[in-house]
Amino acid sequence: MTIPPSLPSTLFSELKTKIEEQRARVGVIGLGYVGLPLALLYSEQRFPVTGFDIDQHKVSTLQAAGSYIFRIPPTEIHSARAHGFSATTDYSHLGDMDAIIICVPTPLNEYHDPDLSYITNTAKAVAPHLRAGHLVILESTTYPGTTEEVLLPILEKENKRMLTVSRGSSTDQQHFFVAFSPEREDPGNQSVARRDIPKVVGGLDSKASDLAAALYGSIFNRIVRVSSPAAAEMTKLLENIYRCVNIALVNELKLLSLRMGIDIWEVIAAAATKPFGFQPFYPGPGLGGHCIPVDPFYLSWKAREWDFRTRFIELAGEINTRMPYHVLEFVAKALNQQKKALNGAKVLVLGVAYKKDIDDLRESPSLTIIELLQNEGAQVSYNDPYFPTVGKGRKYDLQMKCTPLENLDQYDCVLIVTDHSDYDYERIVRESQLVVDTRNATRGISSPKIVRC
Ligand SMILES: NC(=O)c1ccc[n+]([C@@H]2O[C@H](COP(=O)([O-])OP(=O)(O)OC[C@H]3O[C@@H](n4cnc5c(N)ncnc54)[C@H](O)[C@@H]3O)[C@@H](O)[C@H]2O)c1
């Protein structure tokens, strides 16, 4: 419901006007792969934008007009800085903002349960600076109920002005507004402009939805309003579970096709010609990235509260998690064909990023595959144009340096895990003794040296 213009000015209508006139001060918390591009989009539209992060290195880099994300050139930061964009670790500036968008991580903990500590820590840091009329939007992917059951109680309990969230109240003087809006970015995908990706918004009441829709409406072409934050949270999970389950399906069919001597890639290409009812998904060496391997388990965890088992998610997780082990078996088998053992073999892994043409290592199957190969005694090197080194992460500690793509015949096996566009696959096949290809990157090249798995 939109407030009719005849009503007296309220904090709601003041903020709405500020947003429409692009004067609203936007604070983005968490300047990672999601938050930084979002902050830059608002800055491009000449909104006054401040980015908040606990990582001093990121803040200093941005303040010096530098970038730490490969696909965001420093020129973009420079231009945003010229238009007033700044970054800080100091939450006290939040009081100066009109809208606060939270883009912090939502990983799984060691027991594979949701780790909401980033959201709760952020909520605790935001609360003391909250004032009436503030709009707070959560963008982090999470289970349905997080905004209302986790974020909101902290904001209400720990703010200093006894403010409560707006729930359709007629006056705004003691209220702030809360919404959830999932991020739908697809890193590396150049086919859809960010602006053209419809933005789903679910406010806690219609005022919050109106404000969030107005705010996103200034940078996205289409806003899709849903009835609640929980519906918006569930929408994001449905999208990612859909991908996770379909990738698992095609991974399983690939394993069967390999046994049957059928080329699954040929089959998918043929099936994809059907003009309705089929969307192609592609097999690979295992899931990667911050989203698809992680998000479905947020829902599985929440489902337990309702005495419900999400069997599709569990089965898909089981199949997808096995894929790096399948790659290991195939490398061993391919070497065996050449009368070589995996133990002691020199293996060059091409690509450590979790997907092609991006600089993101999170949950990358390459890291698992490298560890599995090392555990079997292989001497593993890697090459990735996006990563000069691979150090220590949450689940790995590899301490490796990128090897130049030279003297490929010194390796017993070259293993393609990430099909970066920069690679010259003809040359790689020509110069290598054996190529194991997990991505069909060598399609169209015919050679007995290639083993597709
Ligand atoms: N990366 C993607 O493609 C993508 C796509 C859709 C949704 N998401 C979701 O968006 C959220 C953010 O993901 P991301 O990829 O940007 O993560 P990221 O790790 O790249 O960035 C998160 C940032 O938040 C900062 N941070 C952590 N705690 C903080 C705090 N208390 N205060 C301020 N800053 C803090 C970190 O330092 C980091 O810079 C996650 O929930 C993720 O699932 C990510």
The minimum-distance atom of ligand 1 relative to the CA of 182 is 7
User: Residue 201's pLDDT band (boundaries 50, 70, 90)?
Assistant: very high
Residue 9 pLDDT exceeds 60: no
Question: What residue has token string 């996770």?
Answer: 244
Let me know: does 335 contact 341? Beta carbons within 8 Å: yes
Is residue 6 scored above 50 in pLDDT? Answer: no
Q: What is the mean pLDDT of the chain?
A: 95
Residue pair 432/452 in contact (Cβ under 8 Å)? The answer is no
Atom from ligand 1 closest to the CA of residue 35: 16
DSSP 167-183: SS-S--TTEEEEEE---
CA distance 435 to 366: 16
Residue 262, CB-side half-sphere exposure with 13 Å CA sphere = 12
Nearest C-alpha neighbor of 310 from the set 251, 256, 237: 237
Give which of 129, 97, 91, 132 is closest to 24, Cα–Cα.
97
Q: Whose CA is nearest to atom 37 of ligand 1?
A: 55
What's the one-letter identity of residue 147?
Answer: T
C-alpha 136 to ligand 1 mean position (Å): 16
Q: Around Cβ 207, how many Cβ atoms within 10 Å?
A: 27
Q: Environment class of residue 213 by beta-carbon count within 10 Å: exposed (0-12), middle (13-18) or buried (19+)?
A: buried
Take atom 24 of ligand 1 and give the residue whose Cα is closest: 30
Q: pLDDT digits over 67-122, tens only?
A: 999 889 999 999 999 999 999 999 999 999 999 999 999 999 988 899 999 999 99
Q: Going by CA atoms, what residue is nearest to atom 15 of ligand 1? A: 33
CA of 32 to the centre of ligand 1 (A): 5
Residues with C-beta less than 6 Å from any ligand 1 atom: 29-35, 52-55, 58, 103-106, 118, 121-122, 125, 139-141, 183, 185, 187, 290-291
- What are the tens digits of pLDDT across the range 123-173? 999 999 999 999 999 999 999 999 999 999 999 999 999 999 999 877 878
CA 368 to each of CA 163, 260, 345, 365, 374: distance values in angstroms, whole numbers, following the listed order = 47, 27, 18, 5, 10
Mean pLDDT, residues 388-410 taken together: 93
Residue 405 CA to ligand 1 centre (angstroms): 33
Give the span between the Cα atoms of 378 and 376, in whole angstroms: 6
pLDDT at 5: 45
CA 102 to ligand 1 center in whole angstroms: 9
